[in-house]
């Protein structure tokens, strides 16, 4: 019975680590997209397009914060399972 419990805990640890890796990749992609849009903004004469890109980057920054919180939540859950 204890072996089953250990196997389940190990599975949760593995799944948690995989989720964290996926989220970190999403964060990296989002940061890259923010950098690219900053470059586009620097080369774009259109105020409307610049404003649109600024809004998108603001949304991306909020998304990054949410993803970082999700990572912390998963790590905390993994620590509690240990």
Domain that residue 30 falls in: 2-81
**Encoding tokens for residue 51?**
């404003």
Residue with tokens 């805990």: 9
pLDDT along the chain (82 residues), means of 10: 76 92 98 96 90 96 98 93 72
Dist CA 70 CA 22 (whole Å): 11
What is the number of structural domains in the chain?
1
**Rounded-to-10 torsion of CA 65, 69, 74, 78:** 130
Tell me the whole-structure pTM to 2 decimals. 0.86
pLDDT at site 76: 94
């Amino acid at each position: 019975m204890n072996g089953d419990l250990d196997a389940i805990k190990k599975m949760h640890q593995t799944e948690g680590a995989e989720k964290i890796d996926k989220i970190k990749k999403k964060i990296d992609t989002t940061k890259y997209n923010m950098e690219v849009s900053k470059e586009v903004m620097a080369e774009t004469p259109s105020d409307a397009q610049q404003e649109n890109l600024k809004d998108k980057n603001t949304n991306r920054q909020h998304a990054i914060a949410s993803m970082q919180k999700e990572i912390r939540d998963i790590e905390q859950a993994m620590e509690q399972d240990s």
